[in-house]
Amino acid sequence: MKILITGTAGFIGFYLAEKLVSLGHSVTGIDNINDYYDVRLKYARLAQSGIKKDAIRYGEEIPSAALPSYSFFKLDITDREKLFALFAEKQFDCVCNLAAQAGVRYSLENPYAYIDSNISGFINILEACRLQSVKHLVYASSSSVYGENEKVPFAVSDRADHPISLYAATKRSNELMAHTYSHLFGIPCTGLRFFTVYGPWGRPDMAYFKFANAIMNNKPIELYNNGDMLRDFTYIDDIVEGIVAAIQHIPPAAPTPFALYNLGNNRPEKLTEFVGALEKGLSREAEKIYLGMQPGDVPVTMADIDATRLDLGWQPKTTIADGLKLFADWFIEYNAKDEEGSYQ
């Protein structure tokens, strides 16, 4: 297939591009390479994918020097004119929308970034899919849409009308927008609610990454809710396998070609135990500061993946111990190679 992935300088998009190329697909990646976190990591991911920083020009196609049938455009999904032109030129079979303004706490500081990217950008994706009759849109949602849901584990059949952060509200909006386009125009749409994705090449704004950076620099780490948070940490390879399974499973046309799935480990870990596994992987102990709950956070996330298993044949395989060891090994190696010092 000809597949577009938005957000290929990002964590999940970087891995997904490599996986889909390895499966024989023709992949186009786009990313605006914004500075929400240090762009050196984004350029390093692109370099791993065979896209050299010096060759990048806005709106221009760059063939990968490392991956066959992969090319990259620096492009913002809010740039409607150029996005529509790209869709018209490439005639994609499938679109994987991973581009978004991420982060719960940052939405308290810069709400407009979430409206621009996650709402305005997403309607551009939907419209482009409609205009070019794309056969399947797969897009990233989030476990944060469950908000104040007290029922555990979280199931896609549960109500999701009490988001407690603007980020969560925009992700729930994406699901509703996609459902509307599926209903009105028959566009097959699959939303994937990711649960705390971690692993090598991950996002520096995520807690586990901040913890590793602090531990290696002999700084204390902050544990919210006194460390009693429970999170369904899900390893990147498992997430990518779930996305690939979703791409291959187009929702049936009747009554509406629309589906939602959880992609989570289904085994929530207490934050303090997660930190213990990270300490073991880094061979260092952390100095811990215990704090209360933060606005927009929830105490527990846990995915009900029965529907995902049934429809997609997907099951997470990576244990926390194994996943964090792989992350820790990468983290140490990457920072050792960074001549400019720590990039966080």
Taking the CA atoms of the chain, what radius of gyration do you get in angstroms? Answer: 19
Residue 27 dihedral angles phi and psi, to the nearest 5°: -120, 130
The CA distances from residue 326 to 5, 75, 91, 157, 197, in Å, are 25, 31, 37, 34, 14
Cβ contact 21:70 at 8 Å: yes
Question: Can you tell me the distance from the alpha carbon of 93 to that of 135, in angstroms, rounded to the nearest whole number?
Answer: 5
Pairing of strands 70-74, 61-63: antiparallel
Single-letter amino acid code for the residue at 60 = E
Active site residue 167: yes
316 prior amide bond cis, ω within 30: no
Q: Which of 114, 167, 198, 208 is catalytic?
A: 167
Of the candidates 189, 105, 148, the residue with the CA atom closest to the CA atom of residue 298: 148
3-state SS class at 305: coil
∠ CA 298-96-323 to the nearest 5 degrees?
55
Residue 303 dihedral angles phi and psi, to the nearest 5°: -90, 130
The CA distances from residue 159 to 13, 155, 167, in Å, are 28, 9, 17
**CA dihedral sign, ordered 141, 252, 149, 211:** negative
Q: Three-class SS string for 59-118?
A: CCEEECCCCCCEEEEECCCCCHHHHHHHHHHHCCCEEEECCCCCCCCHHHHCHHHHHHHH
3-state SS class at 287: coil
Cβ contact 30:62 at 8 Å: no
Residues annotated catalytic, as ranges: 167
